Structure 1
Amino acid sequence: MKTFYYAISAIAISACIITGCSRKKDKFLSRNYHALTTEYNALYNGYIALEQGRQNLNNAYSDNYWDILPIERMEINEEIILPGQSKNEDFNRSEEKAVKAIQKHSMNIDGKEKNPQMDEAYLLLGKARYFDQRFIPALEAFNYILYKYPASDKINQAKIWREKTNIRLENDELAIENLKRLLKQEDITGQDLADATSILAQAYINTKVLDTAITLLETASYATKNNEERGRYRFIQGQLYNKLSYKDSANMAFDRVIALNRKTPRIYMINAHLEKVKNFDYEKGDTIALWEFLTELEEDRENRPFLDKIYHQIGQFHLEREADSLAIAYYNKSLRVPSQDKQLKAKNYQILGDMNFDSSVYKLAGAYYDSTLLNLKLNSKPYRTIKRKRDNLEDVIYYEQIAQVNDSVLKLVNFSEEDKLAYFENFVAILKKQAEDEKAKQEAAERNRDAGLEIGGVNLGNSSQISAATRGPGAPSQAALFYFYNPTTVAYGKNEFVKTWGNRRLEDNWRWSNKNTSELSNPDVLNSAVAERETVNEYFDPQFYISKIPSTEKEIDSISKERNYAYYQLGLIYKEKFKEYNRSKNKFEALLKSNPEDRLVLPSKYNLYKIYELLGENSEAEIAKKDIIKNYPDSRYATILTNPDFVSEKDENSPESIYETVYAQYENQEYAQVIRESETHIRVFDGDPIVPKFELLKATAIGRLYGYEPYSEAINQVAVTYANVPEGQQAQHIVNQVLTRIKSTELVEDEAVEAHYKVIFQFEKATQSVIQDFNTVLNEVLLNIKYYDLKTSIDVYNPDTVFVVIHGLKNKTVAKTFDQLLIKEDKKKIKKPYFAISSKNYQTIQIHKNLETYLGTTNN
């Protein structure tokens, strides 16, 4: 009976509670039940998910210390997501909890919210959307709090978060206005003050008002109780002072970061130290004390995660002191440290590239610039700058390599026989020493492998365990360690084998003495073995290398011409592209001392004159000027020097002006004249940068006049000959992309093509005046045709044939019976026969010059 009574009582009490906790009743029990359930269930779990998501964001975010840090550590993802999707599951879960709290526990009775936790729920909803980077929905949530709960104790937080969202939406001016009003009207303290002033500082940073941002960050750093935030705010203050060139104030701000020591993340302290080092005055400061400090930073075990930055700064220290070898060593050490800072890697590679460029090691400089590009954001301004420099370096590398190789060959040519022999005997001795050393290393490696020797826990008897991971970054690869991958050691080994064992067939029991005798008895095998032995021996024979030195006058002259042209191109590149006038001067002077071709002498002397002027070497410039005027009085350079005002006007004899004239002829369809003029100017301006332009123009004119096959041959020649200049690259693009599309000579049926047709009047070997008169009459006649907007053009077909073309017809039958459109009087004026053709087929016959094929078909 008692049990039954208790059960009934429990059910009754539960029913009372359930019915009493309705969201529609404004009762004490209902308000507190829903408030407690909201706070300690939905909101509690929602904030846990939000905090976990924020932590993940912070862990994934990497600050860029090369620029002013943002106030808030959050990376903006440009990825577009569909409605209903989320970028982060934690924030999605937090939003779901907030929505659940609103849907199940909101007590909106008579237009008023009776659950005091609802403002907190909407605040959580806005924060979850904000961190999920859905800023418009987040703004809606914050605005709803301001509209629905004006008396909420969270109202200031809602206003601050709304302005944070506005800043993310790039509404900086609006955020500044609202935050200034908030700080003026409300008495804000504590973390709310820190949040408001810091986010206002961010708005001022975005609008480039840096001094105001510094003041606000000072307030924020004192108001916040979070030492991580304090360290960040003070570090940003230092960066802003540096941006304004107030180095002393910046150092004071960085000192305050350093003073926080372990209270704030160590990365702020390390970067504060490094920023102070960047501000060091190398002329007045104590460099010894600075070096000791940098060494202390490097040796501190706690700084190991930041060695990439520390090594880079030590490299900068040595570079400032002109200790280039030490600087290079530390830049390389910085690169060998695993680092997520791509901009740091890019700076290291760029500095090493610049240093190699300054040392004329162009090939290595190019490799460093390639690595720089891999660590820069594609198509960013720094990327485009380095890309342009790398592209310009391509020509330098190409011509410097030619100059270096040919200089070496010509130097050997001028050696006496005794000097050649001594040089290559020394070279062969070095080769033998290298081969012996490599052989000794390989034998030692073989012995270790046979003995199963373990190094660092790796059994060398098991080659599969030897990997790049066990070798380390500076060790040679397996390919470099493998004996047979080195041709020098292979050649040496073959030679030693033949000396020791003679010529042996590859078979079992090859060591038996009778194997050597039997093999020598076979003439074919003997001849093969002797040939192989001679091939091996020649690598260690000085006479083999001496025999490779060019000896005929034709070969030597060819090498000399190629070297001289490389010098000329290098002089131009250094002068025009890199503004390296001293290097350019050296190249031109070396060229003039090398007995160059006549075509290179005058432009080299004129370029030297201009360089002397730019370098302020007026006496040398005057000598060069007099030399040009005296020895080349009829040249355009002499004309320019004797009449300087002529340059300020239009120099009609300049390559650029002549090219413009020839190009105008091309546009006027004077293709034969363009080809003749281009050939003439290519000879005259040989060696000038304008030549590739003339070559490309000539190839295009050939295509217009003679068709596909001659054009294909000409454009291929340009692509091969001028591969390192823009015109050659454009020609290569035509070869790869255009020629394949226009290769087909197939003529299509008119019914199968689009409804665009032309009427063609064909003139064979007619004078220009005859063609022009006919075109004038035709244009007058076309004005009398109604319902059609017809136009004409004069198109060159080949050297003997010209077309007068009517455009604007969209019907095949009308095109074929064009004369029926004419009135009786006009028919008397236009008696010349014509044919109709589709636009597609007209393009084909112009490209491939197959008019006869078309006229032989049934189309007409």
Structure 2
Amino acid sequence: MTLVTSCSRKKNTFISRNYHALAARDNILFNGYNALAEGRENLNANYTDNYWEILPVERMQISEDVTLPGQSENQNFTRAEEKAVKAIQKHGMNIQGKEYNYQIDEAYLLLGQARYFDQRFVPALESFNYILYKYPASDKINKAKIWREKTNIRLENDELAIKNLKRLLEQETLKDQDLADATAILAQAYINTQALDSALTQIDIASKATKSNDERGRYRFIQGQLYNALGDKDSANIAFDKVIALNRKTPRVYHISAYIEKAKNFDYNEGNKLEFLELLTDLEENRENRPFLDKIYHQIAEYHLKNQSDSLAISYYNKSLRTDTNDNVLKAKTYQTLGDMHFDVSEYKMAGAYYDSTMLHMVTNSKPYRLIKRKRDNLEDVIYYEDIARSNDSILNLVSLSEADRITFFEAHIEKLKVEAEKEKERLAAAERSKGLIAANNNSFGQKPSGLSNLKGSRGNMPPGQGSSFYFYNQTTVAYGKTEFAKIWGDRELEDNWRWSNSVKTGTNVNTSVAESVIASEEELYDPQFYLDKIPSDEKIIDSIAKGRNYAYYQLGLIYKEKFKEYPLAKDKFKQLLNNQPEENLVLPAKYNLFKIYELLGEDAEANIAKNDITTNYPESRYAAILNNPDAANFSDEGSPENIYKNLYTKFTNQEYAEVLSKVDDYITAFEAEEIVTKFEFLKATTLGRYQGFEAYSKAINFIALNYANTEDGQQAQEISANVLPNLAVKEFKTDSTTNNYKVLYSFNKTNTEEVANFTKTLNEVVANIAHYDLSTSIDVYNPETTFVVVHGLKSLEGAKGFAYILKEKDRLKITKPHIAISSQNYKIVQIHKNLEDYIESLKE
């Protein structure tokens, strides 16, 4: 009893103070700090650094998920917090407002750290502030101040943290790890505020003061990154050399990353390339570096790319990707580089595939993602028109050959097919032999009992492809299956109805465009006549192919010029177009675009020739006007497509539909090479809908969707076709009780314009004298033969019928025309489908 009472938390005795201090330190806090250390190890193990950016001083992944009270992503931190709270509750000696247990400040420090790593920064800040408030004489006061500023930085209070840390460093003489922690976190605050030069000084002090080689390697690496960000490559390389000198004292990832960063700083003009390649090769061949081969291969690829050894670069980029790296930034950069390389050599399909892979490994809706997506979307047009140009060029080339040359060409093609077939036969035979060896190896393992244990033995104990019985675990059988599928079905897209013959992907070279666009028997594949029969002979078809080829070349020239700024490529496409003797409406725009490209490339002599050609041979054109007087001539003149479209649209709004339709086709032909042509097509479609009804509108919209599929307006037409037309197709009239908006129609022959004008004038005079109604009138074109005069603003069908009857009775001498009462929604159906007769019949039922 004496011992128990002497250890009371309410008595300030020597025995009480030391008992509770020792019990808190050696039991509860000891276990709490162990849990905290385990939690931090888990954090470090699960954290992935992005070495493409300046590393953070502290490794901790901030979660965007909201954590509810009582929940934690790491139970070690919860346990550490519980231990800290237990130490405070069971061993705290707060007597008359003063704490006599000298370990309680340590407990509050543990409590704040546990909350900090659990990403509950506001409660953590309260714990550190409590130490500063209640224990000003504590030996942990500086550590609490440092942790408070770490928490402030996590709360994005960087300026406050800088102010407090600078004051701490000025007022206190910090040593060893406290100095390292204070200067490192101050460097982080400077990095966050983009004061990189100030961060350099602090991170250097931290790297010298820390007792941890792990931290020293990280701080030196950050120092090198900061020098690189400031453009001082020599100082950066010195910092990276210090990381490399630590060798196995610091984590291997810093060691290898320092080599990679030094390689990025290599001077290809002045440096010794042979020594540099030997260094990279040594890194590649070192067994310790196997976990980092993705970065090493990528850097070797960069070396070969800078030396213009494109094939070697592509090989090493692919090696980097095959390591199955977890570095998404590295994957994105590699795929993007490969895409750019294929784009530069006009392999647009392959470039598009690489850009697709690039976007898969980027942060969605980030600025780099949007840039790649825009380039990929633009590439869609390039792929589309390049396919047309190459395919049609191939066909026209065959058309131009003599009969003998055609036979010679296809005989050579057949010989290649036979060689490839023989190679495939040998490969399949080798695959069969390999299957036999695999089966023999499987049998050598002996028979196992059926059941779950057998499944485990056949799959769980052997890697895929090595004796595994499951089809997709055996690489040989998978490869054989792919070959057999391609042999039977050809190259198919992953889509619905893939078995249809028109699902076979056609190539862009001569062989695929002519020979492989249809499925043929083996006998036909080796018969030249089979291919000869596929060559078109009808002049109309040949002209159509040539016209499509020419339009594709024109569009490619525009895309390269306007979207990609690839002026040499654009120049080649326009020159090829002009050499093909294109249609007249493409000649002048192509020549004008060539003139602009010559100017952009600084080829003044060529630009003058192109200018003189336009002004001499096409003096009345708007292009000549622009070239002769660039300041005065612009595209707002009366003959410009924009003004023509504007005037035609004004006629449309005035319901001059016949006038619009009589001219729009001429303008579509005249401006076929201009982007505005799709606007004329849309205007035509809408006019047809208003004038002739739904069927004509639907046909015109589908025409735009098919023929301008790769333009923005074409995609809009596809959207209308998929989502709007099905709703407009409904012909059934609505029940009149479902609406409160009605009209009265008076029908006239469209040619009687004077009668319509007089009747409308009379109707307006009569309607103006009717009280209690907010009525209005309009003249609506129904079809080429009929015009409606419409009264708007009636609230019910009976009201509409009664209004028209009363109007007729009161103004017998003025309003004698027959009338039709109709709801607004049914009037819309009548105008869309031009089915007024059906509506009149429905009223009789």
Change (3 A) 1:743 1:187: farther
SS at match of 1:573: helix
> Which deviations, in whole Å up to 9, do the C-alpha atoms of 1:658-707 show, x marking residues without a partner?
33444555566666655555433212101222212222233234445555
Structure 2 match to 1:798? 782
Distance 1:264 1:654 in 2: 70
Q: Distance in 1 between matches of 2:33 and 2:98?
A: 25
Bigger mean CA deviation after superposition, 587-596 or 768-777: 768-777
Between the two proteins, what is the percent identity of the paired residues?
Answer: 58
CA drift at 1:212:
0.5
CA contact (8 A) 2:763 2:815 kept: no
Task: Identify which of 360, 363, 371 aligns with 2:349.
Answer: 363
| C-alpha distance in structure 2 between counterparts of 1:678 and 1:39, whole Å | 91
Picking from 528, 535, 550, the partner of 2:536 is 550
Q: 1:106: Cα distance to partner?
A: 3.4
- 1:123-158 deviations in whole A, cap 9, x for unaligned? 222222222222223223323333333333222222
Partner amino acid, structure 2, of 1:713: K
> Structure 1: how far apart are the matches of 2:41 and 2:826?
67
Counterparts of 1:795 and 1:130, CA distance in 2 = 74
Please tell me the residue identity of whatever aligns with 2:487.
N
| Matching of residue 570 in structure 1 with residue 556 in structure 2 | yes
Written as runs of structure 1 = structure 2, the 5 A alignment for 1:334-733 is 334-450=320-436, 465=469, 471=475, 477-482=479-484, 485-487=486-488, 535-647=521-633, 650-663=636-649, 675-704=661-690, 706-733=692-719
Question: Against the structure 1 CA distance between its residues 829 and 190, is the aligned structure 2 distance closer, same or farther, given a 3 Å change threshold?
Answer: farther
Shift, 1:564, TM fit: 1.5
8 Å contact from structure 2 (residues 585, 672) kept in 1:
yes
The 3 A distance-change label for structure 1 pair 85 and 630 is: same
Amino acid in the other structure paired with 1:357: F
For these two proteins, the number of residue pairs brought into alignment is 790
Match of 1:277 among 233, 247, 263: 263
Work out which of the residue numbers 229, 238, 252 in structure 2 matches 1:243.
229
* Distance in 1, Cα, partners of 2:70 & 2:743: 60
TM-score (norm 1): 0.82
Render the CA deviation track for 1:287-321: whole Å, top value 9, x for unaligned: 11111111111111111111111111111111111
1:80 deviation in Å? 2.5
Residue by residue over 1:418-471, the C-alpha shift from the partner in whole angstroms, topping out at 9 and shown as x without a partner, is 332222222222222222232233234334544666679999999854766664
Contact between 1:669 and 1:795, CA under 8 Å: does it hold in 2?
no
Superposition pairs of residues 222-233 of structure 1, within 5 angstroms: 222-233=208-219
Q: Secondary structure at the match of 1:653?
A: coil
TM-score by length of 2: 0.84
1:90 aligns with 2:76: yes
1:802, distance to aligned residue in structure 2 (A):
5.7
Contact 1:312/1:348 (CA < 8 Å) preserved in 2?
yes
- Give the Cα separation in 2 of the matches to 1:98 and 1:779: 87
* Contact 1:235–1:253 (CA under 8 A) maintained in structure 2: yes
Q: Which residue number corresponds to residue 100 of structure 2?
A: 114
Deviation at 1:258, TM superposition (A): 1.1
* Structure 2 match to 1:221: 207
Do the aligned partners of 2:165 and 2:182 also contact (CA within 8 Å) in 1?
A: yes
Equivalent residue letter for 1:250: A
Who is 1:126 aligned against?
112
- Aligned equivalents of 2:737, 2:23: Cα separation in 1: 78
Contact 1:574 1:580 in 2 (8 A): yes
Over 3 Å counting, the alpha-carbon distance change for 1:695 and 1:580 in structure 2 is same
Alignment of 1:88-167 (within 5 A): 88-167=74-153
Q: Which residue of 2 aligns with 1:494?
A: none
Aligned counterpart, 2:25: 39
Q: Which moved more, 1:413-422 or 1:699-708?
A: 699-708
User: Deviation of residue 792 (structure 1)?
Assistant: 6.7
Verify the 8 A CA contact 1:452 1:461 in the aligned structure 2.
no
Distance 1:191 1:66 in 2: 28
Partner of 1:62: 48
* Alignment CA distance shift 1:561-1:179 (3 Å): same
The one-letter amino acid of 2:536's match is P
Pairing of 1:794-833 with structure 2 (within 5 A):
796=780, 798-799=782-783, 800-801=786-787
Gaps of 5+ in 1: 1-12, 490-533
CA distance in 2, matches of 1:833, 1:145: 95
User: Residue 94 of structure 1 aligns to which amino acid in structure 2?
Assistant: A
* Cα shift readout 1:744-795 (whole Å, capped 9, x = no counterpart): 4455556556xx746667685567977997999899989x97xx9x797968
Distance in 2 of aligned mates of 1:27 and 1:847? 98
Aligned mate of 1:318, from 304, 312, 315: 304
Cα offsets for 1:551-590 (capped at 9, x unmatched): 3333332322222221111111111111111111111111
- Structure 2's unaligned 5+ residue stretches are 446-463, 491-519
How far, CA to CA, are the matches of 2:150 and 2:290 in structure 1?
Answer: 36
Q: What whole-Å deviation, never above 9, does each CA across 1:494-543 have from its counterpart, x for those lacking one?
A: xxxxxxxxxxxxxxxxxxxxxxxxxxxxxxxxxxxxxxxx9432222223
Task: Give how far 1:354 is off.
Answer: 0.8
Is the deviation greater in 266-275 or in 415-424?
415-424
1:522 aligned residue: none
Show CA shifts across 1:365-423 (max 9, x none).
11111111111111111111111111111111111112112222222223333332222
- C-alpha separation between the residues in 2 aligned to 1:240 and 1:462? 49
SS of equivalent to 2:632:
helix
**Offset of 1:599 from its aligned partner?**
1.9
Which secondary structure does the structure 1 equivalent of 2:51 belong to? coil
What is the CA distance between 1:719 and its match in structure 2? Answer: 1.2
Deviation of 1:601 (Å): 1.5
Deviation by residue 1:12-63 (Cα, 9 ceiling, x = unmatched): x4xx444554444444444444333333333222222222221111111111
Q: Give, in angstroms, the shift of residue 223 of structure 1.
A: 1.5
CA contact (8 A) 2:764 2:777 kept: no
What code does the residue aligned with 2:782 have?
Answer: N
Provide the rounded CA distance (Å) in 1 between the counterparts of 2:681 and 2:365: 31
Q: Deviations over 1:322-376 (max 9, x none)?
A: 1111111111111111210111111111111111111111111111111111111
Equivalent residues in 2 for 1:188-267, closer than 5 Å: 188-267=174-253
Aligned to 2:502: none
Alignment of 1:79 onto 2:65: yes
Match among 155, 159, 169 for residue 183 of structure 1? 169
Q: Retained in 1: the 8 A contact 2:466–2:474?
A: no
Task: Tell me which moved more, 652-661 or 665-674.
Answer: 665-674
CA distance in 2: counterparts of 1:710 and 1:771, whole angstroms: 31
Structure 1 contact 254–273 (Cα < 8 Å) conserved: yes
SS of aligned partner of 1:282: coil
- Do the aligned residues in 2 keep the contact of 1:761 with 1:832 (CA within 8 Å)? no
Tell me by how many angstroms 1:182 deviates: 2.1
